[in-house]
Chain A
Amino acid sequence: MGKRKGMEIALAAAEAAALCRPDVIAAYPITPNTHIPEHLSDIVAEGRLDAEFICVESEHSALSACMGASGAGARVFTATSSQGLLYMAEIMAIASSMRLPVVMALGNRALSGPLNIWNDHSDIMSQRDTGWISLFASHGQEVIDMMIQAFRIAEDRDVMLPVNVNLDGFQLTHVVEVMNFPLQEEVDAFLPVYKPYASLHPDHPCSMGTLGLPEIFSEATRAREAAIVNSRKTILKVWDEWEKRFGRRYEPIESYKMEGAEFAVLTMGSMGETAEVAIDALREKGVPVGLLKLKLWRPFPYEDLKKAVKGVKSLIVMDRAVSFGGPGGPVASEIRSALYDEPSRPDLTNYIFGLGGRDVTVEDFIAMIDKVRLADKKRPKEHYEFYGVRGE
């Protein structure tokens, strides 16, 4: 089943998107996602994919073109990073409010400034509350799989929401890995032809993107919230089917060596792979530490989190972004809030690190875990800590 092949992950993301037979692709190049639309334009030019590739003049236009095409009933795809995502910001919330199943590959990159093209999660965090489903991949295989799953989830009649697939810039986009590529007929069997709930067609006139006066706006917003909360059921259903068809299991939070773990590290994105090596080393020394890899950022998997941290004494949450002047990292803030009402909950330490492409090593993870594990209990607990920052 499938084809094993070594490839740069950005190119693999493009190949995976092409396997989904999108009708329209509109994207504007920006590092580090550039290779995704670049390779898709090659695929279209080579005649391997029958799609309209729109060379837009900006990211604002890219997402707008995708939405127009999606409204007309097309399967659409776009990709961006960082400032490009911010340039799409005006349209982001409109895409989800109009319930258009746009799929986006987001090569995560720090927001400027200072100007920086390397990885962290500040771009997606700035668009957290725009109503998109957000998936986080930790390696190349997950990028391919999530790209295909994203179309199926987005277009499901019980969902009808845009989905972004997050892949760390450079750490994933520019790394060559050996991955398993599903065959075209396997993807076709998994992902049926898109049948829109409504489309802009003269035979069935309808209005999309209408004005919402105060008499309806609150109800419309409540309905959007219900839609993304309910999408969880479909996401789990799609992941179950994926496992049956392709043999790879996906969960909102993947547990690694959590048996009897008193300490747990929680990561999102590619750093989970590095953390695994640190966990292996510490387990070998007899340290009861495990790893939780968060793959579903929105809708946030509350139930899975509560289950995953049962019995854990101390939880270490790794953030690759800062909420300036706020509660520290956005992931930790979410987790604190999720566990607030629990009768028993682990202590929580939040490390902010790996910003703007700063390397995250196995030794860093071991040092951070040791710091928490060997800490003097009487020491006042800090809300969050910048790790690996000179002068700290």
Chain B
Amino acid sequence: MARALLVVVAGAVKASGGEFRHSIERMEPGHYLTSSYYEHWLTAAATLAVEHGLVTHSELEARAGGWFPLSGPVLAPPVVDVGPDVDTPRFDVGDRVRVREWHPPGHTRCPGYIRGKNGTVVRVDGIHSVPDIEAHGTARRREPTYSVRFDAADLWRDGQRGVWVHVDLWDSYLERS
């Protein structure tokens, strides 16, 4: 049944043999080592179906009645131009900034609870490699980092009084308020 599913998915996404093989290779090692050959094919089919937008991971889990592990993401990303290093901070202590409201598909170190929120720069820190870029290939871009202070009342509907939350953020996470 898993093999039939795979054939259907293959037709739908026009995936190559290499892509199937790679999606099996991308299985989490603990999962791969402890599951059957059948399950390898099922995981490969499901992973490709999710990645090509045929079904969502949560739909799969709902149908499976629980945890449905998929393979890990593609580890060899396309080469992109990430732009030059930024060595001059765009912001200074006291500046009002807003955290960008984008939700990147991959790795980021911008905590979710501050997305779209306004804060004040309280400290300008060193220049460091942006994790969002570092995670996805060999390209690197270095940027200034800042400590940005948020009023808890701005972060949460039930924010407690007299509470300030400081978060350390990369330059490209921020825009001027």
Question: Is B a genuine binding partner of A?
Answer: no
Which residues in A have some Cβ–Cβ distance to B below 8 Å?
A: none
Which residues in B have some Cβ–Cβ distance to A below 8 Å?
A: none
